[in-house]
Amino acid sequence: MDTLVTVSTILAVASVTECVLWMVLAIRAVREWRCALFIADALRLPAIPLPLLTVVIPAHNEELMAPNCARSVLASDYPALELIFVLDRCTDGTRAALEPIAAADARLRIVENSSCPTDWAGKCNAARVGADNARGELILFTDADTHFDPRLLRASVQLLRSRALSMLSLFSSPTHKHWFEMVVQPVTSLMLLKLFPMKRANAATGRRPFANGQFMLFERSAYQALGGHAAVKDDLLEDLAFARSMKRAKMEQGVAVSDGMLVVSMYDSWKAFQTGWKRIAIALLNGDSLDAGARAFAVGALAVGIAAPIIRLATLAWIHRTASFPVWSALLFPGAALAVAGIFLDGARDLRARTPVRWGGRDYLLEPTNL
């Protein structure tokens, strides 16, 4: 029993330490959220002239997603808008799905792209083709798997122009259709926010450059001054490459939270999710957008996040087996702990209220004592 008590004590200390760490994380998360820019807040800014805006969407075999995306963009309350879909070597029915929408709304143009230079990433090349065909004073690059709130474009341009930014990017709101979107994606989102805190991403000095390729709104002049997509043609993450280039060029850039106004369905399978986030992880851990400390934090946070529950579960399983309880019941320890806490809190209330305890056919009235 001495060993059991020792292990239990270690587990208790570890649990308290973990609670303290999570409380610190909660406080930091609240502070971070209070510093964040929310795109909906821009709707309350004074009205400004709204120039022609071109929305460019590279699309490769997006016959299921593209029509809904196109309709959501065209439903915008933005007054001067053109939408260009660049069909990048599509082999499915993407064009056929978009043609009825284009026939009903002249603001939508479909551009075919049949080739890609060997030293270009396909999406970057398609975006370049779209930019070459754009007429707008502003250019927005987004993805075919996004859905726009009707007010999003107007709010984004209001925020871009009111802050005199050269580029505005948004943290999107993911869908919750698949189990990995509900279970795993929160962890990846938390990692991004810890690696690229909103306060640092929007800092006047010491900015940690960040952009999300699902929504990059450029002043056309700034985009061209950077060299357009030719400047990031072979980057694994072209959005972060743009953000780094803007920092080097001393251009103002901002990041805001879409808060449901930009919804994205990034991956339709667990395998696609793994592949996509592996690409992001490789680029983050190898790129120059993070200093060594930030990369070490990323790896360390993942290690702690994995190790803590495994160690806790293994310890609880050993205790359960040693005390002749079913090992599988260790999985239910959090719920059981809440149940026991409820029992003890109820007992404390009865003691404070001097409620008699009925046991063995007799009422016991205990007085509170301070030991």
371 has a pLDDT exceeding 50: no
Give dist(CA 121, CA 294) in Å, integer. Answer: 27
In order of 226, 297, 299, the CA distances from 305 in angstroms are: 39, 12, 10
pLDDT-derived band of residue 358, with 50, 70 and 90 as boundaries? low
Share of the chain above pLDDT 70, in %: 75
Closest CA to 237 of 182, 192, 199, 180: 192
Closest CA to 199 of 330, 28, 13: 28
Question: Domain segments of the chain: what residues?
Answer: 2-32+299-322, 37-290, 332-364
Tell me the HSE value of 136 on the side-chain side, using a 13 A CA sphere: 29
pLDDT-derived band of residue 31, with 50, 70 and 90 as boundaries? confident
Give dist(CA 59, CA 54) in Å, integer. Answer: 16
pLDDT tens per residue across span 84-132: 999 999 999 999 999 999 999 999 999 999 888 888 888 899 999 999 9
pLDDT tens per residue across span 299-318: 555 565 666 667 667 766 76
What CATH topology corresponds to 37-290?
Spore Coat Polysaccharide Biosynthesis Protein SpsA; Chain A (3.90.550)
Residues 6+ apart with CB under 8 A from 284: 195, 237, 240, 290, 295, 298
Residues, the chain = 371
Q: What is the mean pLDDT of residues 258-280?
A: 85
69 has a pLDDT exceeding 50: yes
Query: Is residue 182 within 8 Å of 102, Cβ to Cβ?
Result: no
Give dist(CA 178, CA 182) in Å, integer. Answer: 7
Can you read off the two tokens belonging to residue 122? 């396909």
298 has a pLDDT exceeding 60: no
